[in-house]
Amino acid sequence: MTSLSKPKIAFFDFAGCEGCQLTVIDALQTDIDLLNVVEIVQFREAMSEKGDDYTIAFIEGSYTRFSDKERLIAIRDQAEIVIALGACAHLSGINAIRNLQSTAEVRRYVYGDHAEHFDVSLAKPISAVIHVDAFIPGCPIDRQEFVRAVKALLQGNLPDIPDYPVCVECKLKENSCLFWYGKTCQGPITRAGCGALCPSLGTGCVGCRGLIPSPNISSFKQLMSEHGTSEAGIEAKLKLFMTHEILKSEASGDGN
């Protein structure tokens, strides 16, 4: 196979900590064979070359500036497949917490007297701006899930992301439930795929992979309350990674 026949992929970053890109670099170090079957043409975190000829685009980070729209559209126009990489791109992640305050106040708080010079919009997942073919959830992404996703794409398939809760993986690992030990955990409403990483280490899931489809939020709140979490505490835990999803379900439009 010549390099010309390899699918060309590119990585892009918007508002995020770049931890998902670092996870990709980490994954490529242990699954280096992937570099024999794809050609990376743009990946600011890892290389200085900057090719604009690609068919698969991985986008990390949230839309947070009006000017992001033009860049996202250009990526969408070029790529045959666009993948949201990580919670910031998939759900606007922790960036969405600032949507709970007015954008003008947030901008003034961060930039002070220079606020008017900075382009700031509501934080949004990239799917709110362009069509996204698939997502790889998590904060950061799971490196093995990323490798599986690339292999699926090379076979002409989209990544197969679980739609069942973390509790399923936790039970398969035969973990004792943390609720029995006075801890709380968002596993019942959070999308699986991380192998129940946090509960397996004795720490409650904080929901970084987002909600499962049709979560029973009211039952989950009741469970948390029965285990001693205040109403404010429950809201705070839910909004760490799920602000966008919760606001979206509460509102009829997304506004801007």
**Where do contacts with ligand SF4 occur on this chain (CB under 6 A)?**
16-20, 60-61, 86-88, 93, 138-140, 166-167, 170-171, 175, 177-179, 185, 187-188, 190, 194, 196-199, 205-209
Q: What is the number of residues in the chain?
A: 256
Q: Which two tokens stand for residue 141?
A: 């992404």
As measured in angstroms, the least distance from the Cβ of 179 to ligand SF4 is: 6
Minimum gap (Å) between residue 201 Cβ and ligand SF4: 9
Nearer CB in complex with ligand SF4: 9/85: 85
Distance from C-alpha of 205 to C-alpha of 157, rounded to nearest angstrom: 29
Of residues 39 and 42, the one with the C-beta less far from ligand SF4 = 42
> Nearer to ligand SF4 by C-beta: 39 or 149?
149
The nearest distance, CB 150 to ligand SF4, in angstroms, is 17
- List Cα–Cα distances, 78 to 6, 51, 72, in angstroms: 17, 11, 10
Q: How far is the CB of 203 from ligand SF4 (least distance, A)?
A: 7
Q: Rounded CA gap, 243 and 94, in Å?
A: 8
3-class SS letters over 70-111: HHHHHHHHHCCEEEEECHHHHHCHHHHHHHHCCHHHHHHHHH
Q: Are 35 and 4 in contact (CB under 8 A)?
A: no
Shorter beta-carbon distance to ligand SF4: residue 112 or 182: 182
Among 92, 91, 81, residue whose Cα is nearest residue 134: 81
Cβ-proximal residue to ligand SF4, closest one: 187
Virtual torsion, Cα 63, 242, 184, 136, nearest 10 deg: -60
| Listed residue (35, 29, 27) closest to 3, CA to CA | 35
As measured in angstroms, the least distance from the Cβ of 136 to ligand SF4 is 10
The nearer residue to ligand SF4, 39 or 122, going by C-beta atoms, is 122
Nearer to ligand SF4, 190 or 243 (CB): 190
Q: Which residue has the tokens 């079957």?
A: 37
> Least distance to ligand SF4 from the beta carbon of 149, Å?
15
